[in-house]
Amino acid sequence: MDEERKPIILMVDDVPKNLQVLGNILNKEGYKISAALNGEQALKILENAKPDLILLDVMMPGLSGFDVIKEIQKNEELAEIPVIFLTAKTEKEDVIQGIELGAVDYVTKPFNSIELLARVRNHLELKLSKDRLKKMNAELQKALREIKTLKGLVPICANCKKIRDDDGFWQEVEHYVAAHTEADFSHGICPDCMKELYPEVYEKMKEAGKI
C-alpha cells in the first residue's frame, strides 16, 4: 500500500472488544484507524476529521447507526464518505433500510475477515478514485478559468503595446500570452512593418503577388 497515502477508516462500535478485533485486522493491512464507542462520539470525530471510510455498528446506546448515517448525509462533505454497516442485525428489512439511508454495503456479524477486507478494499479504491477525479476536474476548471482571463479587460500600453500583468509589471505581449495560455509562438513580419523596414523586399513581393 502507498505509504504516502494510507486510507483512514473510522470504526464505530459500543463493544471495545469488537473494536480491538477489527482494529487488529485493519492494522495488519496497513490502514490508519480511528475508533468511536458510540454515535455521539463518532459525530464529534467527524467534526474535525474526514476518514476515507466508516465501519458503523447499528445497535448502539443513544444514537443508533441509522441515526448516525442520517446525520452524516445531512453534511455535504461527509455524505461522500462510504459507510459500511457492520452489525448483528440480519433481517432483510434492516439491510434495505441501511442501504436506503445511504450505506454502500451491509456486513453481518460474525463476519469473515477475508470477505470484510475485500469489501473494504473495493469501496476504498472507488472512493479514492472519485477523489482523484474530483481533484483533476478542479485543476482543469482552474486552468480553463486562467485561459479565459484573456477574454476580459487587458491593460495594454498605447505606445509600446506592452501588457500589464496582475502584479503590475509590464510585459511583452508574447510573454503575457505564454503565461496565461498554452499557446506557442512563431515569428514573422506583417506587410505594414515590411513596407516600413524593408521597402525593396515589400515592392518585390507585391509585384510577385505574394502580398
Residues 174, 100 share a domain: no
Residues 170, 121 share a domain: no
* Average pLDDT taken over every residue of the chain: 87
Residues 175, 93 share a domain: no
Instruction: Tell me, yes or no, whether 78 lies in a domain.
Output: yes
Is residue 22 within 8 Å of 4, Cβ to Cβ?
no
The predicted structure's pLDDT at residue 152: 60
Instruction: Tell me, yes or no, whether 1 lies in a domain.
Output: no
Range of 82-91, 132-141, 149-158 with top mean pLDDT: 82-91
Instruction: Tell me, yes or no, whether 120 lies in a domain.
Output: yes
Residue 130 neighbours by CB distance under 10 Å: 12
d(CA 162, CA 153): 14
Residue 177 buriedness (CB in 10 A; 0-12 / 13-18 / 19+)? middle
Mean pLDDT within 135-152: 72
Is residue 127 within 8 Å of 52, Cβ to Cβ?
yes
What is the rounded end-to-end Cα distance, in angstroms, of the chain? 65
Question: Quick check: 118 pLDDT over 60?
Answer: yes
Question: Quick check: 138 pLDDT over 90?
Answer: no
Residues 165, 121 share a domain: no
Q: Out of 89, 123, 142, pick the residue that ends a domain.
A: 142
Instruction: Tell me, yes or no, whether 2 lies in a domain.
Output: no
d(CA 190, CA 205): 12
Residues 166, 90 share a domain: no
User: What is the number of structural domains in the chain?
Assistant: 2
Residues 15, 112 share a domain: yes
Q: Out of 90, 113, 142, pick the residue that ends a domain.
A: 142
Instruction: Tell me, yes or no, whether 148 lies in a domain.
Output: no
Question: Quick check: 95 pLDDT over 80?
Answer: yes
CATH of the domain at 97: 3.40.50.2300
Q: Out of 105, 120, 142, pick the residue that ends a domain.
A: 142
Residues 59-84 have pLDDT tens digits of 999 999 999 999 999 999 899 999 99
Residues 191, 96 share a domain: no
Q: Identify the residue whose cell numbers are 466508516.
A: 54
Which of the two residues, 39 and 153, has the higher pLDDT score? 39
Mean pLDDT within 116-132: 92
Mean pLDDT within 195-200: 83
For residue 167, the enclosing domain spans 153-207
Instruction: Tell me, yes or no, whether 82 lies in a domain.
Output: yes
Residues 129, 55 share a domain: yes
Q: Which of 8-22, 144-158, 183-197 has the lowest mean pLDDT?
A: 144-158
Confidence of residue 132 (pLDDT cuts 50, 70, 90): confident
Counting Cα atoms < 13 Å in the Cβ hemisphere of 124 gives: 23
The predicted structure's pLDDT at residue 198: 81
Percent of the chain with pLDDT over 90: 51
d(CA 188, CA 195): 14
Residues 154-169 have pLDDT tens digits of 778 877 778 887 788 8
Residues 128, 90 share a domain: yes
Instruction: Tell me, yes or no, whether 36 lies in a domain.
Output: yes
